[in-house]
Every structure is written in C-alpha cells, then in structure tokens.
Chains A and B, each alone.
Chain A
C-alpha cells in the first residue's frame, strides 16, 4: 500500500497533561482530533515529582477538564508543606503552607503511569466521537512541510498526516519544537535535572509516620549542604501506598561539580532526618529521571510557527516557584488555551491565526507572567551576576548575616512562604545552599536518628527498569572527553568507574599517545535528555513502544 497522506483537523503529539488538556478541549469544540503517543501506554515514558496544583487564577485546571480526575487518577491530596534547611545533622524546618496554599484550589500527589493512562482513556473516548482518537506506540519523528511551511507530522509507524493545527505536547525533549527551530538543547543554565525514587510503603504506615489522615498527605522539601554544594533541592511526597522521593538540580551545577545524580539522591535518602519516615525496610519500586525546563529562562515567548503550537514542557513552560515545582498545571492551561485559540480562529474562518491567538491568550491570562516573572527579570538576574553573587554569599555566611538569620527567623519563614519573594530568587548558591545551611547552623537542632537505609546501587536500579530495546537512539558525535565527558557523571544511569551505564570514559592508546575518550551504550538509557545538552550527540528517539518503560513515573 502506498503511503498516501491522511488528514485530520487537529493532531496532538503526546498525551501527558498538556496533550490531554489540548485534546479534550479540541474535542469539546467538535474538532476532529488525532492524538499520537509514543509510549506503550500514556505515562509509560513520563516522570514527575509529582504534585499537581490547581491554581485558582488559572483559566483551566485538570479537574475542570476531567471532572473525575481527583477521584480516579491521583494519589493523595496534599495539605501540608514543610521545607527543611539542613547543615550536617542540624535541621531547621519552616512551614511553607502559605506558599503551598497561595492561589491553590487543591494540590494532589500523582504517579504518572496511572494518571496519564487514565487521562488517555478519557481523551480517546472524547476524541473518538469527533472522528479522531488516541493511538499509542506511534513515534512522531518530525514536521511535514509543503513549500517550506509546516502542514502536519511524519511518524515512524504511519503514513504522513496533515492537519490544520499541530499541537506539540511532546515534553521536555520535544522533537517537534527542535525541528521547528523554536527550542534548542544548548545552555545547561536553562534546565534542571530531576531524579526520583518511588518507595513502597503500606498506606497505614504512611498515615502513621506522616501523621496524616488516610485521605490526606504531606510534602517535604530539602535544601542545604547535603548535596555537596550542587544547586537544587530534594522533595518527598506521600502517595497512596508509596513515597516519591527525589531531587531537582540546576543542570549547569551538576555539570560543573561533576556530580553523580544518583549519589545526590542517596545523600537525601540516607540523611538522619529521613529515618523517621523511611523506617528500617526500604523497598525501592522504581528509579527514574528526566530533564525539567526552567521557564524563567527557557519558556518560549512566542511558542508557535505556521500551524504548529508548543504547549507544556515542549515550550519550556515549567515554573520553579522557589522550591515548589509547577509544570503539569501550566501544561494543562497552555494545552487548553492552544485548543481554545484554534477553535476561535476556526470560528473566525481563519485557522491559521491559531498560533498568534494562543500567544495572546498566554499573555492575557497571566500565564506568561508566572512563567517569566518580572521580579526575577529585575532582581533575580542581578543576583546571578558574579560579584553580586559572591558578595551575597559572603554576607550571608558572615557574622552580620548569621546575626540577621538568628534575629529574623520568623521573617525568613515568611519570606520562604511568599510567592513574590520566591519568584525573585536568583539561580545561585545563596538560596539553594548557603542560606539554608546558615539557617540550619544558626537556628537548627541536630537530628540524630539512625538512618539504616541502604539504597540499591545503580546496577540494581537499572536492572529493575523495564526496557524494550530498539535501535540505538543517540549517537555520540564527539567522543573526546573534553566534548562529552560530563555525561559520564551527569547521566543519571552512568557513573565514573561503573561499566553498566550508558556513558563510560576510557584511556585509549593510539600510536604511543594516550587519548581520553567516552563511549556510549544506549541500552540502559532512561531518555532523560541530559546528554543532549552536556555532550555532543545526535538524537533519534526510540520507535513507538520502544525504549524505557516506567511503571510508576
């Protein structure tokens, strides 16, 4: 059979929260919508922390679009949020409930395999009624162009598909955004890397150890000196019968410090503070990792081109509101706004205006201002300038700074809880490392519980993951250690002196001289995207249904 085109009114690529919201809104507007998802199941390729927020100010929330969402797809409502400042064994905890509840209708913990699969089922039913539907195991490889203009998508498994609108909701490593030249993989400063372990725990034990009711949950955040000076922090969220424990670090910091992400996660897991929650039996269900865009720097101000619109992580719309991470909610809002824009444009008889309208809606609805806050542009950026940064660190660490910290304990707690203050936080050591450390040293109490957890080593973590190995999907273009060596440590499933990961370095003798080289085996790759930035690679992405498959996410 020849590969003749197929045509749909709308094609949505990816069925995470952004794609699901876009598809549901398109379907509600009677648009014939085809959704293409590469996983064996929606959610099988996805990772989040996962606290999903429904903001009061947002024009769309996930439960507004999918009324049974909280009932069917989430783990626990989370009403308590505490941040722990750590210096050695000293810990000072602040209740950041105000920040957590600010503009929040509700916040639930989620596991992505369960959440996205449920969403996908809903999306399929709704889009099927429009003559479209959802297909899994289809890998969209790029944009279909006619006379240089984007008119649809190409895929590995199907004949090319034309559409009046293409919604790229294909996540942080979006191939479509890169094919269109709207996003790149250049600057480590624009990204975080998130690593997570899902830990098995009986619901009753969770209720007991976290002192929460069966239908309630807690969030704990961690910062200070336990991560070897790498800028970022840790999180712990309670699920129904498991805990999500992870870390999110600035990628440039991971790269500079040559940090091993799995070891940073272990530093959190084995800290004495964790003993009260983890107890003596530690059973890790899954280890996972993924890049996270930093919207302050990465959110595209004009995320569209021809018939293509980018939503969610694909457009860099992932907000780090101080220690609170908001990606899923913004993906939902953006997805629905993009769909609404197309429906409006179509009603006006000019569907090609959808992109412009979408951009306008992002601004008018205040989404852009959350993603790229003005306060950060003015103050945060200033704080990142070298001399200012050095000075601030020195002051915070000085006798004066320490005195201030002691005197202003309450003020600090309030500052941590202020959405305006945290939106201005610069990406420096000061807020992530120095200040929390000083706070803990000056105000904290030692925690001396014995933590007996010994987390699985990397080989076991890799061994427990599910892979359907396809063809190698990443090619190492420059094998020299200078160009690609950072990946040996920064890759969450590789490590120095570990032979079972993706990247390893080796000394090779050539004609009497020695060369420091890097080699790559993509078999255990979790497709996080890190090496696309820190190494010189060319990406193809696995075929539909191939590659890593997360059961929890």
Chain B
C-alpha cells in the first residue's frame, strides 16, 4: 500500500498567532505558517491505513521553500515516511487549477505509484475545496469525498468508505471503489483502532515518525518544474485561469450591543420581557 497526502501551508489563524494590520489585512510576515488543519485529518486517515494495512505514507505539497517546515510538522504531529515538496518560482501564484496540474504531475512521477491519494476538505485561507477533486480529475481516478471512515480490502483491491451526504451528519452512506482511488477526508474523520495490536503499532510508529521529523530533510525530496517536465506556461501564475478582481472585506458585526440584564427570579422585571415575547409566541 502506498498512500499520499496532499497538504498546503496556511496562516496560523489561532488566537495569539494571527496578526492583522489596521485595515484588517492579514500580515503574512508576522503570522506563522502552519499545516492546513483539515489536512491533518487527511493525514490521520492515511496513517490509519498504514497502521491497519501496512505500507508507506508520503506527504506532498506545492509551495514555497518555507513549506518544508509544514511538511515536517505533518511528519512530527501525525505521521509520514517521506516528504515531497514541489517548488520553484515558475509554480508561484498558482490557482487551484494550476496547483492541481502540478501536484498530479508530482504524483505521477513517484516511483512507487500510489494506491490512495488523500486531500483535505478545504484550506483555512483559500477555502475553495477545489484542489483535491481537480487533482483527481487530472489523474482520472474514482473519488470519494466527505469520508468519515475507511476500510481497505487489499485482496479485492477495493476501498469501502462511509461518507456524509450533502455534508449532513444525519445522512451517511457507505460506498465502495476500486483502487487506486482519491479520498477527500471530512473534518469529522475519526480514526478507529479497536485492536490492541493496532494501537501498539500506532504507538511504535508515532515514536518512529517523531524521531524521523527531527532529521526530516533526510526524507525530503524537492522537485522543480524541470524535474516534473512541466511547461511554465501551464503552471503558476501563467497557468492560472482564475482572476481575482478584488476582495471585499466582510463588515464586522458591532461588538457592543444594547443589553438589559434581568434577574431570573425578579418576576416584576420579567414582565416587559414577556410582553415583548408574547406576539412571537402567537406565531406573528
């Protein structure tokens, strides 16, 4: 089994990490870049296949050289056997389409062809959710999106998945697909380990990957557009059909609103509240 997880670096939007300038623009220089949180769910899903079925987990990203540390983060916090960074100036400023083209080419260049490729649901900054499915389109594989749990039948060469329908938790369907197959892990993906032997192996592999992450550059391969034999006209800014014409800031909700505090056991003070609510109770 060879599984590959696609990931992107995003600004760390957590309190205390992210910083905005006076006009509300993100200050990229002052905000650390971290692994897209949804991609960690995807990586956990891939790790589960390794624990249960064995094999090899690779982590791949297209982005600037600084993404090396994003890859390291994934290796340390979840798991990876090796890391791939697709990076050079020609790839810069790619939209989802050009990103997909580049990543798909990277996947095809792997010596050991993957059985499963995972993407996250969407990124914390771009949020389109296009990159995964577009990469799959380039590969011409079956795709299962919104995946909650996975079981692999290696003998039959199939993957069976539970997935959310319309993103509604109450509707879950089970589907099966032949491998190789593309998986988009839902943020609700829950790895399950019901066997002691799997949990023990999980523990071993977690220790191993943390050690490897300290010397991550030894497991890192960097490919530029020439390695991938990609025409600069089809990647990066030149290969991006999307035109961002402008960005409208979303107005902030007023932080101070008028409020009157009323003690719950003060029945007199509660009367006006009842008066206000009564018309709604009648269905008006």
Contacts and interface: CB of A to CB of B under 8 A. Distances in A.
Interface of A: 1, 3, 6, 8, 34, 36, 124, 128, 132-133, 135, 138, 157-159, 161
B195 interface: yes
A157 B203 contact: no
B196 A34 contact: yes
Contacts of A34: 196
Main SS at interface, chain B = helix
A246 B197 CA distance: 41
Contact of A158 (B196, B203, B204): B196
A135 B199 contact: yes
A158 B199 contact: yes
A157 B200 contact: no
B194 A1 contact: yes
B151 interface: yes
B194 A133 contact: no
A101 B110 CA distance: 68
B194 A135 contact: no
Nearest to B149: A1
Contacts of B203: 124, 133, 135
A159 to B, nearest CB: 5
A1 B196 contact: no
9 contacts: A1-B151, A6-B195, A6-B197, A36-B196, A124-B203, A133-B200, A133-B203, A135-B200, A157-B194
B200 A128 contact: yes
Contacts of B196: 6, 8, 34, 36, 135, 138, 158, 161
Interface string B157-198: 000000000000000000000000000000000000011110
A348 to B, nearest CB: 28
A200 B195 CA distance: 41
Contacts of A6: 195-197
Given A6-B197, A159-B195, 7 more contacts: A1-B194, A6-B195, A34-B196, A36-B196, A124-B203, A157-B194, A158-B194
Contacts of A133: 200, 203
A132 B195 CA distance: 12
Contact of B200 (A1, A132, A159): A132
Nearest to B199: A135
Contacts of B199: 135, 138, 158
B205 to A, nearest CB: 13
Interface of B: 151, 194-197, 199-200, 203-204
A342 B154 CA distance: 39
A171 to B, nearest CB: 21
B203 to A, nearest CB: 7
B209 to A, nearest CB: 17
A135 B204 CA distance: 11
A36 B199 CA distance: 11
A138 B194 CA distance: 10
A34 B201 CA distance: 13
A158 B195 contact: yes
A36 B195 CA distance: 12
A3 B200 contact: no
A1 B204 CA distance: 22
Nearest to A132: B200
Q: Which of A6, A124, A138 has the most CB of B within 10 A?
A: A6
A412 B113 CA distance: 83
Contacts of B195: 6, 158-159
A158 B199 CA distance: 9
Contacts of B194: 1, 3, 157-159
Nearest to A157: B194
Nearest to A133: B200
B201 to A, nearest CB: 9
A135 B200 CA distance: 7
A1 B160 CA distance: 11
A427 B203 CA distance: 48
B193 to A, nearest CB: 8
Contacts of A135: 196, 199-200, 203
B50 to A, nearest CB: 16
A158 B151 CA distance: 17
B44 to A, nearest CB: 16
A521 B36 CA distance: 40
Contacts of A138: 196, 199
Contacts of B200: 128, 132-133, 135
A36 B197 CA distance: 12
Nearest to A161: B196
Contacts of A128: 200, 204
A8 B197 CA distance: 10
Contacts of B204: 128
A130 to B, nearest CB: 11
Nearest to B197: A6
Q: Which of B196, B203, B204 has the most CB of A within 10 A?
A: B196
A158 B198 CA distance: 10
Contacts of A158: 194-196, 199
Contacts of B151: 1
A135 B202 CA distance: 10
Nearest to A11: B196
A158 B197 CA distance: 10
B211 to A, nearest CB: 15
A525 B94 CA distance: 55
Nearest to A2: B194
A157 B199 CA distance: 11
A177 B204 CA distance: 32
A138 B202 CA distance: 14
Contacts of A161: 196
Contacts of A1: 151, 194
B111 to A, nearest CB: 31
Contacts of A159: 194-195
A372 B269 CA distance: 68
A161 B195 CA distance: 9
Q: 5 nearest interchain CB pairs?
A: A133-B200, A135-B199, A159-B194, A158-B196, A6-B196
A81 B271 CA distance: 68
Contacts of A36: 196
A138 B196 CA distance: 9
A1 B203 CA distance: 21
A6 B199 CA distance: 12
B282 to A, nearest CB: 35
A240 B129 CA distance: 54
A132 B196 CA distance: 9
Nearest to A36: B196
Nearest to A135: B199
Contacts of A3: 194
Contacts of A132: 200
A13 to B, nearest CB: 12
A133 B201 CA distance: 10
A207 to B, nearest CB: 38
